[in-house]
Amino acid sequence: MKIFGPLYERAMKWAAHERAPTYLTVLSFIEAIIFPVMPEVMLAPMCVAQPKRGWWFATLSLSGSMAGALVGYALGHYAFEVLKPVFAALGMLTSIESGIAVVQAKMAESPWAVFTFLVLGGFMPIPMKVFTWASGIVGVPLPQYFLSMLIGRGKRVFVLAAVIRIGGPRAEAALRRWIEPLGWIATVLVVALVAWLVWRSKFA
């Protein structure tokens, strides 16, 4: 059953829309707060369609993500208890609480241990909102939090833009060819990581 290939084709159509940069920025913003689809899904085909504007698209995505990261942090800090039933209904509560447990453990070490963890978390195929809410709930110091989000998300979007810019048509062809298996691999990794975090929070 093919799922990610058709989604990629749909994203390519969105990427060609005249308002695609606005859609990308908004998607990046809400993904950092609650939306389940990572902005790279839209950023990649936009960079393929207009490789010379890839850096600008990456900057827009990063800007939206950073604004969303601050909102997600604030909501985690002030509204998590009130919104718990909503997250439970969306099936997100377990992953967020697992993220909280890990961030708390890092906070017990030092604020810079949290910084390192959050930067490394940017390399993982985990929705950004898990880190933004968990950081706000635990109370990660804002300087370390903001810098870690900037580095973690920034390297993802700019590396993606660079790979497509350098690879040109070959990068687009490779993306089309491997989008389905890569999508399933990423899905399996996310499920396995969430399961491990849940296990760790219960038995650590």
User: What are the pLDDT digits (tens) for 6-34?
Assistant: 766 666 677 777 888 998 999 889 888 87
Predicted pLDDT at 127: 64
- Residue 7 φ then ψ, to 5°: -65, -40
Closest CA to 111 of 69, 85, 139: 139
| Model pLDDT for residues 190-199, shown as the tens digit of each residue | 556 555 655 6
Location of structure tokens 């975090």 = 197
User: pTM of the prediction?
Assistant: 0.70
| Model pLDDT for residues 96-140, shown as the tens digit of each residue | 777 777 777 777 777 677 777 777 766 665 666 677 877 888 788
Distance separating alpha carbons of residues 142 and 160, to the nearest angstrom: 27
- Residue 16 φ then ψ, to 5°: -85, -10
**134 CB burial (10 A radius; 0-12, 13-18, 19+):** buried
Q: Which tokens belong to 121?
A: 């978390």
